[in-house]
Amino acid sequence: MRYMMLIYSQENEAATPEEMGVVAANHKAVMDEARDHGVFRAADPLEASITATTVRIESGKVLVTDGPFAETKEQLAGYYILDCEDLDEALAWAARIPTACAGATGCIEVRPIREFRELSSVNA
Amino acid sequence: MHDHHATVEAVFRAESGRIIAGLIRVSRSFDLAEEAMQDAFAAAIVSWRADGIPDNPAAWITSAARRKLIDYARREHTRRNNEDQLLYESLCRNSAIDEEMSRPFADDRLSLIFTCCHPAINMEAQVALTLRTLGGLTTSEIARAFLLPEPTLAQRLVRAQRKIQKARIPYQVPNAGSLPERLSAVQAVLYLIFNEGYSASSGDSLLRRELCAEAIRLARTLLELMPENPESMALLALMLLHDSRRDTRSSADGQLVPLEEQDRSLWHQGQIAEGIHLVERALGRRSVGPYQLQAAIAAVHAEARTAGDTDWKQIAALYSLLKAGQPSAIVCLNHAVAVAMSESLERGLALIDDLGASGQLDSYHLYHAARADLFRRMGRNREALESYRRGLTLTNNTVELRYLRRRISELG
């Protein structure tokens, strides 16, 4: 089962390149290990939430707004997709993903990915 | 020396939009383009003092800014990533830059307007960005015009520019499919800038006039770039017609002077003539839109030699068309007032009372002010007084407060 791990953390615009470097190195270590275990599928960091644009349809019209879906203290900062046996394995990996940037705290939301096979069997 | 400063400033106001639009196209960066332009203007002050003002100041600035751009690209090159490497390479192909920069500028400004008014940027930032990049206003002037601390406005601009860069908001005229919607977003931003200058009650009055003048200049540019769009014609007309009354809208002591009490001999006839001409041209395209209807209404007012000559019947008809497209409270109220003036006060009052029946307008000061005005005209002073007082509790706008207080004291 593939799990998506959404990284929510406080954005820190004042982070120095050195601090960013430490966070990146920590991520790289987790990714390398996940690759070694054959569970790694994808992972990417996102640009800061000020670059976000939200699109919704209201009464048939496309409505584009500046900003993320929700203005919260912690913002979506990146994601991993790992192929794990079960949730326990996924949670174990999630616990190792760095969420903190320069001392700020954050969390990881773990969500199983719905496979297309399941979707089509529902339709059938 | 003062002369050189004045020339530099005049060139900045008139040409910076054009110049920066070209620089952004070749550098694909708001930051670098702006830095290059600022440095070029700074260099101009020094150089023109020594060597005199060049024949073509804008061309001088453009080529100075272009050289700065190449310098920055070299500087950035040493410490940035791959994307900048590509930028560096393209900038350093000197012939390519010359060719790029010598292409017609008009397209650049049009692309830039659409970038600055992109819906993925919030409205306040669209306004600030448009004024900053296409208008000739400095950050501190915009901040003062909008009564904001300068760092707040500067931050807003930086964020918007970062978003354009990082989210890759395109720098181009939208395709035919999305053009109408995007164009009306641009028109909305320009109209907002105008209204900010026109209707606000406080702040630096000189800068507010500057804001109106800037909005008119931008609307003129938009029309120049897309000359066939009737709504753009009408937008410019609407601004010109409103602005023509600027010297009569408030008294020496800052009191709001209603339209019917304004000294029409002080209206700017040149602007009125141009406005009316534009409205007629727009309506000739037979594709009516909200700006055309509003401009037509303003034109009817402008054509009346005295308040008593106003063709209220035509105004009521125009408002009724406008109401069909955008039934906002303010449009419906204006329609009711026009009906009151053209048919009967009672009929107008009945329309206003219908609007208020749902109770949704209870907290809207203009609803009470409009009712009060009709009661006053009917001689129903007690009810007029009551409604003026109700309106008074619902607005903070100093100019409107003064107007309502004046009416109350006249009746009381």
pLDDT digits (tens, 9 = 90+) for B48-77: 988 888 988 888 999 999 999 888 877 766
Pairwise CB contact (< 8 Å): B166 & A64? no
Residue B264 lies in a domain: yes
3-state secondary structure B243-265: HCCCCCCECCCCCECCHHHCCHH
Residue B388 lies in a domain: no
Give the pLDDT confidence score for residue B85 in this predicted structure. 57
Give the pLDDT confidence score for residue B202 in this predicted structure. 57
- Closest Cα of chain B to A9: distance in Å? 19
Question: CB within 8 A of B30, min separation 6: which ones?
Answer: B24, B133, B161, B164, B165
pLDDT in tens, B23-33: 988 887 888 89
Q: Determine what percent of chain B is predicted with pLDDT higher than 90.
A: 53
Give the pLDDT confidence score for residue B83 in this predicted structure. 54
Give the pLDDT confidence score for residue B88 in this predicted structure. 60
Q: pLDDT band for B103, please (50, 70, 90 cuts).
A: low
Average pLDDT over chain B, rounded to an integer = 88
pTM of the model: 0.82
Looking at per-residue confidence, does A102 or A58 come out higher?
A58
Closest partner CB to A51 (pick from B122, B125, B163): B163
Q: Please state the domain extents for chain A.
A: 2-123
Range in B83-87, B283-287, B358-362, B391-395 with the lowest mean pLDDT: B83-87
Residue B389 lies in a domain: no
- Closest Cα of chain B to A87: distance in Å? 34
Torsions phi, psi for B308 (to 5 deg): -65, -25
Pairwise CB contact (< 8 Å): A66 & B166? no
Does A24 contact B at CB distance below 8 Å? no
The answer to whether residues B317 and B328 touch, using CB atoms and an 8 Å cutoff, is no
- Strand (E) or helix (H) holding A9: strand A2-10
Tell me the three state secondary structure of residue B340: helix
Residue A71: pLDDT above 60?
yes
Note the Cα A14 to chain centre separation in Å: 21
Report chain B residues touching chain A, CB-CB < 8 A.
Answer: 119-122, 125, 159, 162-163, 166-167
Give the mean pLDDT of B11-15: 83
Token pair for B392: 């008074």
Pairwise CB contact (< 8 Å): A51 & B125? no
The answer to whether residues B340 and B347 touch, using CB atoms and an 8 Å cutoff, is yes
The answer to whether residues B193 and B216 touch, using CB atoms and an 8 Å cutoff, is no
- Strand (E) or helix (H) holding B12: helix B2-27
Q: pLDDT band for B264, please (50, 70, 90 cuts).
A: very high
Closest partner CB to B119 (pick from A50, A52, A64): A64
- Check residue B270 and give left, alpha or beta (phi > 0: left; psi -120 to 50: alpha): alpha
Q: Determine what percent of chain B is predicted with pLDDT higher than 70.
A: 91
Residue B252: pLDDT above 90?
no
Residue B406 lies in a domain: no
Range in A5-9, A82-86, B8-12 with the lowest mean pLDDT: B8-12
Give the pLDDT confidence score for residue B309 in this predicted structure. 95
Tell me the three state secondary structure of residue A61: strand
The verdict on B74 and B132 lying in the same domain is no
Looking at per-residue confidence, does A55 or B80 come out higher?
A55
Chain A residue with minimum CA distance to B185: A64
Give the mean pLDDT of B311-333: 95
Dihedral of the alpha carbons of A15, A19, A24, A29, in degrees to the nearest 10: -150
Which residues of chain A are within 8 Å of residue B163 when distances are taken between CB atoms?
Answer: 50-51, 66
Residue B353: pLDDT above 90?
yes
Helices and strands in chain B: count of H runs, count of E runs: 20, 0
**Closest residue by Cα to residue A94 from A107, A85, A104:** A107
- Angle (CA) B65-B66-B67 rounded to 5° is 90
The verdict on B15 and B60 lying in the same domain is yes
Pairwise CB contact (< 8 Å): A47 & B121? no
Q: Which of B203, B219, B254 is the last residue of a domain?
A: B203
- Strand (E) or helix (H) holding A83: strand A74-83
Give the pLDDT confidence score for residue A49 in this predicted structure. 92
Give the gyration radius of chain A's Cα atoms.
17
Average pLDDT over chain A, rounded to an integer = 87
CB contacts < 8 A, A to B, total 26
Q: Does domain A2-123 have CATH number 3.30.70.1060?
A: yes
Does A13 contact B at CB distance below 8 Å? no
Question: CB within 8 A of B39, min separation 6: which ones?
Answer: B64, B65, B68
pLDDT in tens, A12-48: 878 888 888 888 999 999 999 999 999 999 999 999 9
- Closest Cα of chain B to A1: distance in Å? 32
Tell me the three state secondary structure of residue B154: helix
The verdict on B287 and B298 lying in the same domain is yes
What residues does B256 pair with on adjacent strands?
B250
Closest partner CB to B163 (pick from A50, A64, A65): A50
Give the mean pLDDT of B214-240: 95
- Closest Cα of chain B to A66: distance in Å? 5
Note the Cα B29 to chain centre separation in Å: 25
Does A66 contact B at CB distance below 8 Å? yes
Residue B200: pLDDT above 80?
no
How far is it, in rounded angstroms, from Cα A5 to Cα A108? 6
**Closest residue by Cα to residue A81 from A116, A20, A31:** A31
Residue B157: pLDDT above 80?
yes
The verdict on B94 and B109 lying in the same domain is no
The verdict on B120 and B181 lying in the same domain is yes
Which residues of chain A are within 8 Å of residue B166 when distances are taken between CB atoms?
Answer: 47-48, 51
Q: pLDDT band for B408, please (50, 70, 90 cuts).
A: very high
Q: pLDDT band for B204, please (50, 70, 90 cuts).
A: low
Q: pLDDT band for A118, please (50, 70, 90 cuts).
A: low
Q: pLDDT band for B99, please (50, 70, 90 cuts).
A: low
Give the pLDDT confidence score for residue B84 in this predicted structure. 55
Sign of the CA dihedral running B385, B386, B391, B394: positive
Helices within B226-307 (DSSP H only): 230-243, 269-283, 290-303
Q: Which of B169, B203, B237 is the last residue of a domain?
A: B203
- What total of structural domains would you count in chain B? 3
- Closest Cα of chain A to B80: distance in Å? 13
Chain A residue with minimum CA distance to B162: A51
Which residues of chain B are within 8 Å of residue A66 when distances are taken between CB atoms?
Answer: 119-122, 125, 163
Q: Which of B103, B131, B166 is the last residue of a domain?
A: B103
User: First-to-last CA distance in chain A?
Assistant: 22
Give the pLDDT confidence score for residue B213 in this predicted structure. 92
Pairwise CB contact (< 8 Å): A50 & B119? no
Going by the DSSP 8-state scheme, the letter that residue A4 receives in this structure is E
Give the domain range for residue B240.
228-304
Residue A121: pLDDT above 70?
no
What residues does B260 pair with on adjacent strands?
none
Give the mean pLDDT of B136-165: 89
Does A121 contact B at CB distance below 8 Å? no
Closest partner CB to B122 (pick from A47, A48, A66): A66
Give the pLDDT confidence score for residue A124 in this predicted structure. 45
Residue B37 lies in a domain: yes
